[in-house]
Amino acid sequence: MNALRTIEWVGDLDGHVALIDQTLLPERLEILRCADVECIWEAIRNLRVRGAPAIGIAAAMGVVLAVRAAPEDDPQRLIMRIDEACDYLATARPTAVNLFWALERMKRCARGAAAELATPSPPWGEGGARGSVNQIKLALLNEAKAIRDEDAAMCRAIGRAGLHLIREGIGVLTHCNAGGLATAEYGTALAPLYAAHEAGRHFRVFATETRPLLQGSRLTAWELQRADIDVTVICDSMAAQVMRASKVNLVIVGADRIAANGDVANKIGTYGLAVLAKAHAIPFYVAAPSSTFDLSIADGSQIPIEQRSAEEIRRGFGRLTAPEDVACYSPAFDVTPAELVTGIFTDRGLIAPVTRAAIADAIRP
Ligand code: MRU
């Protein structure tokens, strides 16, 4: 099976971003081509590209699109343009820290490239100021591509770290989509499943539908089926029953932001699943790359939770599913307290038990 390439840069500085439009799955696999930053912002906001790592990659590439044709020939002015583009992209969605992590990385890259070019004399090296502006733009493009490639490598490492969990014949429950579609490729929560499948193991995955936008039934089921992995979709409300019927040996989910104490923000419904897993003595694991940890916040109460439009509940996928004018409450994420998390698989190995000290140790810069 070909690995899904969720998002990539095509061509040189004058190229474009190609991403799978996830709003069309599972009906159609279509590539959206973005040549300007507004297209990327809209794709993130409307979940054409979604999942914390993929959002970060999209934002990084969006910065390149925003400034590649900038007329400035003064590096400092270009840096101002870059900061503006980052501020704009940062408004697309609030919860996944990978977005802000990637934007900070792009800003650092630009400043680093500018500082390097400023040192030799004559001041801006060969080609003068214009030449150095182009070099900063090229450095940004390389950084965005590196963020993508590093994410793919981190996902493989998560798969290796979690492989031992996926024993022959077990049942695994996952929520939302933390697979190849949510990352550069391969996924986080789904990475150990792909690794176990590659190792020839057989197991069953229960994918919760994930109301209101159905990332579980539309995306997780689609990509696992495509990989020939045994997957069964359940409505969110069926999880307790499936657990009580002893069909699930472990739960594994992704994360949008993990606080310094191990509290985990992830797709709405994750917290409820963690409570259910505890009630049924089922281990509850999280899988996330180091770019999803936010050590600047002490605990999950400080994680900004995105509120989405009531229309996604009232008129899901084009049909009225609630009275037209009824009030709806629609947080897109919830926070699972660290004490409900058995362990966190990262590209740097397993963090278990989940303590502030263990996280600080594993996620050192
Ligand atoms: O609203 P979404 O679809 O972007 O939410 C995605 C999730 O909650 C994922 O579980 C999380 O981003 C981890 S992706 C590896």
**Distances in Å between the alpha carbon of 42 and those of 27, 38, 88, 93, 207?**
21, 6, 11, 10, 27
pLDDT digits (tens, 9 = 90+) for 248-304: 999 999 999 999 999 999 999 999 999 999 999 999 999 999 999 999 999 999 999
Global pTM reads 0.95
Q: Give CA angle at 93 (137, 85), nearest 5°.
A: 25
129-149: average pLDDT: 92
pLDDT digits (tens, 9 = 90+) for 188-205: 999 999 999 999 999 999
User: What is the distance between the alpha carbons of residues 15 and 192, in angstroms, rounded to a whole number?
Assistant: 34
Centroid of ligand 1 to alpha carbon of 164 (angstroms): 24
Both tokens assigned to 106: 């792009």
Catalytic positions are 256
Percent of the chain with pLDDT over 90: 92
State which ligand 1 atom lies nearest to the alpha carbon of 52: 12
What span, in angstroms and rounded, lies between the C-alpha atoms of 259 and 302? 8
Most ligand 1 atoms within 8 A of CB, residue of 155, 173, 176 to mutate: 176
**Ligand 1 centroid, distance to 23 Cα (angstroms):** 14
pLDDT in tens, 323-356: 999 999 999 999 999 999 999 999 999 999 999 9
What pLDDT, on the 0 to 100 scale, is given for residue 154? Answer: 98
Residue ranges around ligand 1 (CB below 6 Å): 47, 50-53, 96, 176, 178, 182-183, 188, 215, 254-256, 266-267, 332
**pLDDT for residue 118:** 79
Q: Mean pLDDT in the chain?
A: 95
pLDDT greater than 70 at residue 5: yes
User: What are the tens digits of pLDDT across the range 98-133?
Assistant: 999 999 999 999 999 999 887 755 554 555 666 789
Judged by DSSP in three states, 341 sits in: coil
- CB 166, CB 172: distance < 8 Å: yes
Indicate whether 314 pLDDT > 70.
Answer: yes
The residue behind tokens 């998560």 is 158
Task: For a ligand 1 pocket test, name from 267, 305, 307, 309 the mutation site with the most ligand atoms within 8 angstroms of its C-beta.
Answer: 267
